Amino acid sequence: MLAGGMSIKAEIAVVVLFTLLLTLPFINRPFHMDDAGFLELARARQTDPTALTLTDYTFFGQENELFLDTHPPLISSYLAFLINLAGAESEPVLHAGFLAFPLIAAVAMYFLARRYTNYAMLAAMLLMATPGMMVMSHGLMSDVPGVAFWLSGVTLYVYGLQRRSQGMMALCGLVITIGVFTSYQVLSVIPLLLAYVVLRRKLSLLSILPFALPISAFLSYAVWHLAVIGDLPRFSYGVGEPMAWHSIVQKGASATMIVAGAVIFIGVVMRVLLARKWDFTVYQFLLAPLWVAILFQYFYGGYGTAAAVMTIVLMPLGMLMLYRLFADAWSRIRQAWQFGRERPAEDLLLVLWLAGVLFYVTVILPYASVRYLLPLFPPLILFFIRLAGERFSQSPEVLRNILWTGVFTTAVMGLLLASADYHLASVNKEFAGRDAAGIGMETAAGGGRLWYVGEFGFRYYMEQQGFTQLPEDTEVPAGDVIIQSPLADPRLFSDELKDKVKLVETISYGSVLPIRVTSFAAHAGFYGHFWGLLPFSLASGNVEEFLVYEVVPPQKGHIESLLDRLSGKRESSLEVENG
């Protein structure tokens, strides 16, 4: 029995049940965001299990004879297996097949948390309640599976090293290998654990055993990839200039607000962080210059009221949280070194984990997003619980109430964001099946063709209706119709095409829920900071607007129209003279 009166099995059962309660209600969510890309590759792997490319594939308007996958092959292959099993691309069946990953992550977090805190069950529940984990657990992307294997690999390694268990270390190697072929981010686990074992001064044949399989497997895959494709595996699409200073600043700002807004409920964070006068003073110091910057943006129309207020609150809070967690961890490490304990390695594991994820997201990856920062959540939560334990060490009952409040309020916030995300996904499916299908029938009856501009879930459901994405510089005849989702692809038409299109209708979808996870207008960029730096925002406007354009004969320019009018006047005057 544990201190709380529950056995380990009972606590795991609570964690599993809690995770299912947060995921099962969303099992019918329409395919959304990058789900579409993974499904495209899954179709290719149904006929060729080794397929790494898509042929004649248009992506954001760019035509590609061979489109190279930037993700490891395991998730698409697993999807291909599920589709074959179900006999169709069924939302509930595929989502049910992905329920295993949040469950694995929850159980792994529980056992890892037992090494750091007496509140392992609450730590695991808090991880699954975070808006980031909850929303991403409802999709088919590789992020939650990657976190699940990352967490499992670290947990097996820590326990295996402590118990000197060859079986656990061998299993750790297998789990990390599966993780690497699920998400390339899991490669980060290898240097992380190597640093951990070196700091513990336990470098041995047993300690490096788990790295043999993932390293050799990935190198073999890279060689095979080079032989088949003629290039090494790509880790991203190479969007923008990820290492430019302005890009790093934007990603850093977005990551800071994700830390404050998409992990633990903000009220609980403020209750713990601002409990001391010094931290409250630091928070006010960080707040002052941000007020000036955001108010400037607000008065010049760059930010709405809600986005401005949320930025002012979240950014300094995220900065303070990271500063406090790193500072307290460093203080504990120094004290442990002074007394010659082994504890520094345990704390350094979390510090390196946290710092490593922040580094590669803000410096290396093309953009910041909640999904990319998911591996940061476990060490952040463990540090936060430890910080709360230190600040309320004299009041165990207060600490327990704060943690339970954190789980409950964070889960409520996560459910609200997940519901907003579910609604946005549903809008794409509803529009394609109802409005676009009707417009397509009318267009076809008139001898025209319907094109669409947009990616993600919008693309998936438009293609399900038989429509084609419009490649850039395509010659589109008069009578055709183009439907654009600016949220899914805001690109402008080519110079040739923009003079031939006429906006004939805007179809809008609203929501009773005033929360936005993806919105240019609300500056909400849950899936990428290019939509907005905030992980979510508040807004009452439309969730999505679809623009319907008709292709008409090219309109004459101003000079041509003027010449035509002058020509008409000459003809009229000649008629008068002849009369």
Rounded Cα–Cα distance for residues 519 and 132 (Å): 17
pTM, two decimal places: 0.89
Residue that the structure tokens 């248009």 belong to: 58
Which letter does DSSP use for residue 556 in this model?
Answer: P
Amino acid identity of residue 89, one-letter, is E
Q: What is the pLDDT of residue 567?
A: 56
Could you tell me which residues come within 8 angstroms of residue 244 by beta carbon, excluding any fewer than 6 positions away? none
Find, among 401, 362, 319, the residue nearest to 122 by Cα: 401
Counting other chains too, the contacts that 282-289 makes at CB distance below 8 Å and 24 or more residues apart are 282/320, 282/323, 283/316, 283/317, 283/320, 286/315, 286/316, 286/319, 286/320, 287/312, 287/316
Rounded Cα–Cα distance for residues 464 and 430 (Å): 12
Rounded Cα–Cα distance for residues 366 and 356 (Å): 16
Half-sphere exposure (CA, 13 Å, Cβ side) for 337? 12
Residue that the structure tokens 């329920």 belong to: 99
Backbone φ, ψ for residue 436 (5° rounding): -65, -40
Q: What is the pLDDT of residue 566?
A: 47
Q: Are 415 and 442 in contact (CB under 8 A)?
A: no
Q: Are 29 and 422 in contact (CB under 8 A)?
A: yes
Rounded Cα–Cα distance for residues 397 and 455 (Å): 50
How many residues are there in the chain? 579
Rounded Cα–Cα distance for residues 253 and 327 (Å): 20
- For the chain, 579 residues long, give each residue's pLDDT as a single digit of tens: 454 568 899 999 999 999 999 999 999 999 999 999 999 999 888 888 777 777 777 777 777 777 777 889 899 999 999 999 888 899 999 999 999 999 999 999 999 999 989 999 999 999 999 999 999 999 999 999 999 999 999 999 999 998 999 999 999 999 999 999 999 999 999 999 998 888 777 888 998 999 999 999 999 999 988 888 877 887 766 556 667 777 888 898 899 889 888 887 766 776 676 667 777 777 777 777 777 777 777 677 677 888 888 888 888 888 888 888 888 877 777 776 665 555 567 788 898 899 999 999 998 888 889 999 999 999 999 988 888 888 787 788 888 888 899 899 999 999 999 999 999 999 999 999 999 999 999 999 888 999 999 999 999 999 999 999 998 888 888 889 999 999 998 888 887 888 888 999 999 999 889 999 999 989 999 999 889 989 999 988 899 999 999 988 866 554 454 445 545 544 444 444 444
Rounded to the nearest 10 degrees, what angle do helices 189-199 and 166-180 cross at?
150
Residue that the structure tokens 């047993």 belong to: 206
Which letter does DSSP use for residue 534 in this model?
Answer: B
Q: What is the pLDDT of residue 578?
A: 47
Angstrom CA distances, 501 to 454, 545, 556, stand at: 17, 18, 13
Q: Are 510 and 487 in contact (CB under 8 A)?
A: no
The token duo for 568 is: 């008409």
Rounded Cα–Cα distance for residues 147 and 376 (Å): 9
Residue that the structure tokens 């829920």 belong to: 513
Q: Are 411 and 106 in contact (CB under 8 A)?
A: no
Rounded Cα–Cα distance for residues 29 and 421 (Å): 9
How buried is 249 (Cβ within 10 angstroms: 0-12 exposed, 13-18 middle, 19+ buried)?
Answer: exposed
Could you tell me which residues come within 8 angstroms of residue 158 by beta carbon, excluding any fewer than 6 positions away? 112, 115, 196, 349
Q: What is the pLDDT of residue 335?
A: 72
- DSSP string for residues in 340-403: T-SHHHHHHHHHHHHHHHHHIIIIISSS--TTTTGGGHHHHHHHHHHHHHHHTTT-HHHHHHHH
Q: What is the SS3 assignment for 537?
A: strand
- DSSP string for residues in 450-517: EEEE--HHHHHHHHHTT-EE--TT----TT-EEEE-TTT--PPPPHHHHTTEEEEEEEEE--SS-EES
Backbone φ, ψ for residue 123 (5° rounding): -65, -45
Q: Are 382 and 350 in contact (CB under 8 A)?
A: yes
Q: What is the pLDDT of residue 556?
A: 55
Residue ranges of domains in the chain = 422-559
Q: What is the pLDDT of residue 91?
A: 94
Q: Exposed e or buried b for every residue in 290-306, given b needs 16+ CB within 10 A?
A: beeebeeebeeeebbeb
Rounded Cα–Cα distance for residues 528 and 526 (Å): 6
